[in-house]
Amino acid sequence: MENFTIEIDTDSDDHLIHVRQLLGSDDLRVGLDAYEPLDNLQEVYWPIRHAKVGQLYSGDPGRKTHWLFAEICPCHLGKGEPTSNNTLLSGKIRSRGKLGDDCGHIIACSLGGKMVEFNLFPQQKYINRGWKGWNQHWRIGIEYTIWIWLINPFRIKPSVEFQVRFFYNDQTYRDRPDHGKFLIKFKCDGYEKNKKVDNRDKKEISMELYTILKGDLMNTIENESDSVPEPNYEKFTTARVSKFHDLTSEQFQHFILLLLNDYKANEQQHVEPTSASSGYRPTTTPLTYK
């Protein structure tokens, strides 16, 4: 089994603070024993399998999520529930945040996330809706790359483990996460035997190829409205992202690190990201095999 894990830290508005390969523990539940566990969730809630929730600081009825674990498989893609399915619940979630916040999914609707309280949190609308510019990192850098990994017809049993830990330290908005940590583990059992992968011995992709692949991703939402709440995945087909199928797992890992750190650099400068490459040069570490 080929595995690699991307570790991400975000601030209160979901801007990228740190993006790196996982170096430490892969369990974000440490220190959460006092919170209510939601374990072995029924299939209706999948891909979410486990969560830990706690009382609201406001004293209102309901729970806020401190930790969540999901295992996303190809069968979950496009099977989630949009915010419009439950306007009463989405309004309750928005009321916990800042003026203008959206009700955001922890596990995106596009990845199978449901409209249930433990999968929702108040989120900055520019991130939630993937509006054009430096706020697209979550949709393009995370949702799209997970989708690409899972629809690759040459990977054997692809899946993605998605783990999040939310922290609530904002003294004004006590029920809105002020930062979060995410672990996104890409898994598969290898390649189909008849799949020929070029440059298999190379762990990294060239900057020329990175620019081409990034441009392909940018073009997938080029014609979407600025207010679109969910991406149009009907046009996001296997054929359209076929260039990614030629990457090894290590090369795909390298692409994600380059892409997310590109967005991080552009966020910090508050400028529009371009198809040009960043100055960041991550070095891939060996994948884990189990």
Write out the chain's pLDDT in tens, 290 residues: 688 999 989 887 667 788 888 877 778 988 999 999 999 899 999 999 999 999 999 899 999 999 999 999 999 999 999 988 999 999 999 999 999 899 999 999 989 999 999 999 998 776 666 554 445 667 777 888 999 999 999 999 999 999 999 999 999 999 999 999 999 999 999 887 666 655 666 789 999 999 999 888 777 655 554 444 555 555 567 777 888 998 999 999 999 999 988 888 876 665 444 333 344 445 444 455 44
Task: For residue 125, tell me if it sits in a domain.
Answer: yes
Q: Which residue range(s) make up the domain with 163? A: 2-266
Hey, what amino acid is at 191?
A: Y
Report the number of distinct structural domains present in the chain.
1
Helix (H) or strand (E) holding 18: strand 16-21
pLDDT at 52: 97
- Write down the pLDDT at residue 86: 93
- Note whether residue 262 is domain-resident: yes
Look at residue 64 and tell me if it is in a domain: yes
Residue 280 and residue 257: Cα distance in Å, rounded?
A: 9
**3-class SS at 37?**
strand
Residue 284 lies in a domain: no
Assess if residue 255 is contained within a domain.
Answer: yes
- List CB contacts of 2: < 8 A, sequence separation 6 or more: 187, 188, 189, 190, 249, 287, 288, 289
Q: Give a yes or no: residue 286 inside a domain.
A: no
The predicted pLDDT at position 273 comes to 41
pLDDT at position 142, please?
A: 86
Residue at 119 is within a domain: yes
C-alpha 188/C-alpha 156 separation (Å) is 6
Q: Enter the tokens of residue 179.
A: 């930062």
Judge whether 245 lies within some domain: yes
pLDDT of 290 reads: 45
**pLDDT, position 195:** 60
Q: Give me the pLDDT at residue 134, please.
A: 42
What pLDDT, on a 0 to 100 scale, did the predictor assign at position 125?
A: 74
Give me the phi and psi of 188, to 5 degrees please. -165, 165
Nearest-angstrom CA–CA distance, 79 and 70: 14
Measured over the CA atoms of residue 18, residue 283, residue 190 and residue 145, the dihedral's sign is positive
For residue 232, the tally of other CB atoms under 10 A from its CB is 13
What the block records as the tokens of 266 is: 């552009």
Give the pTM: 0.86
Contact 209, 202 (CB under 8 A): no
